Amino acid sequence: MSQAAVKADLKESLEESPAADTDNEAQQEKMSPKYIFLTIFSCFCPSYPINIVAFVFSMMALHSYNEGDIDGAKKLAHIATLVAIAAIIIGLLIIAVSCIVHFSLHH
C-alpha cells in the first residue's frame, strides 16, 4: 500500500470517530471578518504589491476557515491584518512624499 493511501485511510478513520465530531463542534467558533474589510480598504492605497499580498492572505484565511482549520485561519488572518496595516502606512507615506514633492516644486 502506498503512503498516500495509508494517510487517506488514517484520515477517514479519524473523521469517522465520535471524538472527532465533538471536537469539530467545539472548534466551530465565529471569526470576525474585520481583516477582510481592512485588506479591501488597503487596496485603495498606492502600495500595490503589498496590499494585494494582504488580500491574498485574507482570502486564504477565509478558505482555511471554511475548510474547518480554525487555528490556521486565525494565523493567516493575523498575517493579513499586519500586511494590510503595513500597506496602509506605506501608501500614506507615498501620498505624503508625492504631495511634498509636488508642492515644493510648484510654488
**39-55 pLDDT, tens per residue?**
999 999 999 899 999 99
Residue 77 near residue 35 (C-beta atoms within 8 A): yes
Listed by start position, the domains of the chain span 1-29, 31-105
User: What's the confidence (pLDDT) of residue 26?
Assistant: 46
d(CA 81, CA 74): 10
User: What's the confidence (pLDDT) of residue 32?
Assistant: 76
**98-107 pLDDT, tens per residue?**
999 999 986 6
Residue 89 near residue 97 (C-beta atoms within 8 A): no
pLDDT at 1 over 90: no
**57-100 pLDDT, tens per residue?**
999 999 999 999 999 999 999 999 999 999 999 999 999 999 99
Q: 80: buried, middle or exposed (CB in 10 Å: 19+, 13-18, 0-12)?
A: buried
